Amino acid sequence: MNAIKTAVAAVTAAASLVAFSPAEAATATANLNVTANVGGACSIGSGIGGGTLNFGTYDPVVTNSALGIDLFGTGTLSVQCTLLRPAIITLGQGLHPAGGSTDAAPLRRMRNTASADYLAYSLYQDVTRLFVWGNTAGTALAFLGTGLPVPVLVYGTVPRGQNVPSGTYNDTVVATVTF
In this predicted structure, what is the pLDDT of residue 46?
Answer: 85
Per cent of the chain over pLDDT 90 is 79
Least trusted range by pLDDT, from 10-24, 29-43, 65-79: 10-24
Instruction: Give the range of the structural domain holding residue 135, as residue numbers without chain letter.
Output: 42-178
Residue-wise pLDDT tens digits, 133-159: 999 999 999 999 999 999 999 999 999
CATH number of the domain residue 137 falls in: 2.60.40.1090
3-state secondary structure 27-40: CCCCCCCCCCCCCC
Residue 17 lies in a domain: no
Residue type, 79: V
pTM: 0.81
Residue-wise pLDDT tens digits, 84-133: 999 999 999 999 999 999 999 999 999 998 999 999 999 999 999 999 99
CA within 13 Å, CB half, 165: 9
Cα 139 to Cα 2, 130, 145, 149, 152, distances in angstroms: 86, 12, 19, 22, 15
In the predicted model, what is the mean pLDDT of the chain?
90
Residue 101 lies in a domain: yes
The yes-or-no verdict on residue 164 having pLDDT over 80 is yes
Residue 66 lies in a domain: yes
Residue 145 lies in a domain: yes
**Total structural domains in the chain?**
1
